[in-house]
A and B are shown apart, each in its own frame.
Chain A
Amino acid sequence: MIRKALLAALSLAAATAVQAQTEIQFWHSMGGALGDKVGELATKFNATQNQYKVVATYKGSYSESMTAAIAAYRAGNAPHILQVFEVGTATMMAAKGAIIPVAKVMKDADEPFDPKVYLPTVAGYYTDTKGNMLSFPFNSSTVVFYVNKDAFKKAGLDPNKAPKTWKEFLAAADKLKAAGQSCVYTSGWPSWMHVENFSAWHNVPIGTKENGMASLDSEFQINSPLHVRHVAMLGDMAKKGLFTYAGRGNQAEAKFGSGECAMLTSSSGAQANIKRNAKFEWSVNFIPYHDDVKGAPQNSIIGGASLWTMGGKTNNAYKGVAKFFAYLSRPEVQMDWHTSTGYVPITQAAYEMTRKSGYYDKNPGADIAVKQLTNKPPTSNSKGLRFGNFVQGREAIEEEMEGVFSGKKDAKAAMDEAVKRGNEILRKFEAANKG
């Protein structure tokens, strides 16, 4: 009898102990294998302590989960942590009260936090002009240049010498075409690659006010002679059958992986899939640059997503959030994330650790993204960008670029129009967020 009561009391105590754990809701957009990895991160973090329990939930695509979080915030039950894609950064930042800067979360929780340990191009993207880190960089990638070495060999080109400049690139493209390659070159993410990263790589501004990072009243500057010349070059390549447009997302990656296209510029995150599918030798390289531009190549910028802390929760919960972020920054956790997903490591220490482990020797090309991001110390043109409602802005740019690729528009007119439309979107965002 006494034993039974004791048992009951014990189990009750155990139950309350479980209940005393503070749940931290984490909404993310990592589907498939990536989603499993995020779940694994949460489980492993939960095992390191017993005060907090991170509950990772897949909420659909980036825009879907952001919409869901906006609706939830309006209804008063937003998650603690929300994963937001890079183009949503300005929208999140402007929502004062709805979010809490990561720097503040860490400080309030007395978690040791030094923004300098993160890669500057990664952390800079999510840091305000005063140096406060606003969101926690989670999955970052950049554009890299993939080459099908077998196709190069077939065309009489040196498979171990990928074109470094656009001049060399064009010469190689002609040879590939002459050798009967049906699709010579394709590219994923047209604006991200050929406007955003293109600008950073050549150290020219995408927009005024440090690419919009300094204030809301920035204006696009993507109709400079250099931008127009580059887009015109792509349009010309499309006309000659040297460039096959494959859409605004990552559709181009499949065209490269299947061997249809010989060259590709797309996310460094595509490597895992290419490795699995490609039945040919391939290499990862720096993206080409125009060699007559002074200072090029500079450094490339990131894409991907970061973790935002939502407002209106208890202090205790924020302590848990801070602990989770600290856990995610650990070199061994970062190394595991980097090597299993292909996203770049976000701290210098994690990069060093991966290098020393010999991973890059076994997987040549896996370090190209980091090397390209850290090629030179970032300038105000190359540390990132922050444009209001850039979901729409990027679309305006891509629509105009599509006009050039399909031969309907001249490059100058298209880029002028992209600037005009982009600026209208920026002014609207500025007006909506001044209050």
Chain B
Amino acid sequence: MEKRVVFQSKWLPYALLAPQIVVTVIFFFWPAAQAVYYSFLVQDAFGTSSQFVWFQNFTELFHDGRYVESFKVTVLFSTLVAVSGLAISLLLATAADRVVRGAMAYKTLLIWPYAVAPAIAGVLWAFLFAPSIGIVTYLLKKMGIDWNWIINSEQAMLLVVIAAVWKQISYNFLFFLAGLQSIPRALMEAAAIDGASPTRRFWTIVFPLLSPTTFFLLVVNIVYAFFDTFGVIDATTQGGPAASTQILVYKVYHDGVKAADLGSSSAQSVILMLIVITLTVVQFRFVEKKVQY
């Protein structure tokens, strides 16, 4: 028996798809096409004068030390967010997997941060760590640490990483927990009877069996760090000090919206578009095939 639904009518499937396609065209393809078009132009803020300059915006970008710097910042930031995010949530998931009493309460609490909007998360952390009034700053000062991320770029990076990771831990936690629970108990018990220590059991059984989940989460976390952390950065450091937390997405916004340099901003968003396309291909090629849910 044919499993697929076969439409008798010729136009019905198109009609059913139409709303989705219209939405996609208006909100995705059209702006994307405009970005590509603008990336070849140099124009003033109000668009009263504009010139077609071919690839000048792109060549200028790659000759611009600060754009290259922003690339480096983005790589550093995403690596920190992805690695520490995954490590912490794996630790929490293994811990939660063992808890017997009150497991539900722990799990619920760990999932909560995911419901917080990135901008709110940013504001919360910015308040805690505010250089003059933050409560954490106060405690750090008592410990003799001079905490001022307004001038110290390492501290600023640490702050945005903490805020971004905290936000993403719940998501990672959920997937890791599901992954852990799908590992057959028999395997673990057999290993335990053979005398394998909990650490050894983790590294030789749990970790390899979790690897598809880990790889999937790695891609998701990189995408998250690249594109979804805008709110966190805007609410805390706004890219500073001295552009040390200015990731690519933030630079697109900054140059286009704040500095009204549409040509360069569009060229940057075209480059980001290419990065997204690459990441999507990687995800489809490798992840979708290998992850077992």
Within 8 A of B (CB), among A59-99: 63, 66-67, 70, 73-74, 91, 94-98
Closest Cβ–Cβ distance, residue A96 to chain B (whole Å): 6
- Counting CB contacts under 8 A, is A225 at the interface? no
Instruction: Using A246-B150, A406-B151 as known contacts, say yes or no to A433 and B44 having CB atoms under 8 A apart.
Output: yes
A399 surroundings in chain B (CB, below 8 A): 240-243
Max count, chain B CB within 10 A of own CB: residue among A255, A431, A432: A432
Interface size class of A (residues with CB under 8 A): 35 or more
A-B contact pairs, 5 of them (CB 8 A): A73-B46, A245-B151, A255-B132, A402-B241, A432-B42
* B-chain residues with CB within 8 Å of residue A428 when the two chains form the complex: 42, 261
Given contacts A247-B150, A391-B259, A406-B152, 5 further A-B contacts (CB under 8 A): A67-B260, A91-B260, A245-B148, A428-B42, A428-B261
Determine whether B19 belongs to the interface, using a CB cutoff of 8 Å to chain A. Answer: no
Complex: A91 Cα to B44 Cα, angstroms: 8
A95-B45, A95-B46, A391-B260 known; A254+B151 contact, CB < 8 A: no
A309 interfacial by beta-carbon distance below 8 Å? no
Q: Measured between alpha carbons, how far is A94 from B243 in the docked complex, in Å?
A: 28
Cβ–Cβ contact A70 & B240, under 8 A: no
Whether B261 and A94, one on each chain, are in contact in the complex, defined by CB atoms closer than 8 angstroms, is no
Give the complex CA separation of A402 and B263 in angstroms. Answer: 28
- Known contacts A63-B257, A70-B260, A402-B151; is-contact A246 B131 (Cβ 8 Å): yes
B240 touches A91 (CB 8 A): no
**Which stretch of B48-56, B90-98, B99-107, B202-210 is in the interface?**
B48-56
* Interchain CA distance A66-B258 in the complex, whole Å: 9
Provide the residues of chain A in CB contact with B255, threshold 8 Å. Answer: 392
Q: Does B43 sit within 8 A of A, measured CB to CB?
A: yes
Q: How many of chain B's residues have a CB under 8 angstroms from any CB in A?
A: 29
Q: Which residues of B contact A433 (CB under 8 A)?
A: 44, 49
Given A63-B257, A67-B257, A435-B50, CB of A248 within 8 Å of CB of B42:
no
* Binary flags per residue of A393-429, CB closer than 8 Å to B gives 1, else 0: 0000001001101100000000000000000000010
List of B residues within 8 angstroms of A255 by Cβ: 132
A332 at the interface (CB under 8 A from B): no
Q: Does B47 contact A (CB under 8 A)?
A: yes
B132 engages A258 (CB within 8 Å): yes
Nearest CB on A from B47, distance (A): 5
A188 CA to B222 CA, complexed, in Å: 37
Shortest distance in angstroms between B180's beta carbon and chain A's nearest beta carbon?
44
Tell me if B132 and A402 are in contact (CB < 8 A): no
The CA of A73 and the CA of B48, in the complex, are separated in Å by 10
- Say how far B142's CB is from chain A's closest CB, in angstroms: 13
Instruction: From the candidates A96, A248, A435, name the one contacting B51 in the complex (CB within 8 A).
Output: A435
Partner of A402, one of B50, B242, B258, B260: B242
A255-B132, A432-B49 known; A245+B259 contact, CB < 8 A:
no
**Interchain nearest-CB distance for B261 vs A (Å):** 7
CB of A132 within 8 Å of the partner chain: no
Across the interface, which residues of B come within 8 angstroms of A254, CB to CB?
132-133
How many angstroms between the C-alpha atoms of A63 and B259 in the bound complex? 9
**Chain A residue nearest to B258 in the complex (CB):** A63
Kindly state whether residue A283 has any CB partner on chain B within 8 Å.
Answer: no
Cβ of A251 within 8 Å of any chain B Cβ, yes or no, is: yes
Contacts of A258 in B (CB 8 A): 132
- Encoded as 1 (CB less than 8 Å from any A CB) or 0, chain B from 231 to 243 comes to 0000000001111
Asked whether any CB of chain B lies closer than 8 Å to the CB of A236, the reply is: no
In the complex, chain B residues whose CB is within 8 Å of the CB of A247 = 150
With the chains together, A140 CA to B10 CA distance in Å?
67
Residues of B contacting A431 in the complex (Cβ-Cβ under 8 angstroms): 42
In the assembled complex, which residues on chain B have CB atoms less than 8 Å from the CB atom of A402? 151, 240-242
Contact with B along A325-364 (1 / 0, CB 8 A): 0000000000000000000000000000000000000000
Flag whether A260 is at the interface (Cβ < 8 A). yes
CA distance A246 to B152 in the complex (A): 11
Nearest Cβ distance between residue A407 and chain B, in whole angstroms? 10
- Say yes or no: A74-B46 contact (C-beta < 8 A), given A399-B242, A402-B242, A428-B261: yes
- In the bound complex, how far is the Cα of B49 from the Cα of A435, in angstroms? 6
A245 CA / B132 CA spacing, docked (Å): 11
CA distance A405 to B241 in the complex (A): 11
Bound complex: CA A68 to CA B132 (Å):
32
* Least distance between A379 CB and chain B CB atoms (Å): 30
List which B112-153 residues lie within 8 A (CB) of chain A: 131-133, 148, 150-153
A389 at the interface (CB under 8 A from B): yes
Q: Which of B34-80 contact A (CB under 8 A)?
A: 42-51
Shortest CB distance A278–B (Å)? 15
CB proximity to A under 8 Å, residues B156-211: none
Contacts of A389 in B (CB 8 A): 259-261
Contact mask A212-252 → B, CB, 8 Å, 1/0? Answer: 00000000000000000000000000000000011110010
Contact residues in B for A251 (Cβ distance below 8 Å):
131-132, 150
Query: Which residues on the B side are within 8 Å of A246 (C-beta)?
Result: 131-132, 150
Q: Shortest beta-carbon distance, B51 to chain A, in Å? A: 6
Q: Are the C-beta atoms of A392 and B259 separated by less than 8 Å? A: yes
Whose C-beta in chain B lies nearest to the C-beta of A403? B242
A392 near B261 with CB under 8 A, answer yes
A98 B260 Cβ-Cβ under 8 A: no
- Cβ distance B82 to chain A, nearest Cβ, rounded Å: 28
B257 CB contacts on chain A under 8 angstroms: 63, 67
Is the pair B132, A97 in contact by a Cβ cutoff of 8 Å?
no
The smallest C-beta distance from A270 to any residue of chain B, in angstroms, reads 15
Q: Point out the residue from B47, B151, B240, B261 that lies within 8 Å of A74, measured CB to CB.
A: B47
How distant is B172 from chain A, measured CB to nearest CB, in Å? 33
Residues of chain B within 8 A of A435, CB atoms compared: 49-51
**A248 nearest CB neighbor, chain B only:** B240
Partner of A91, one of B43, B45, B133: B45
Q: Least Cβ distance of A135 to chain B in Å?
A: 15
Contact status A70-B46, CB under 8 Å: yes
CA distance A406 to B150 in the complex (A): 10
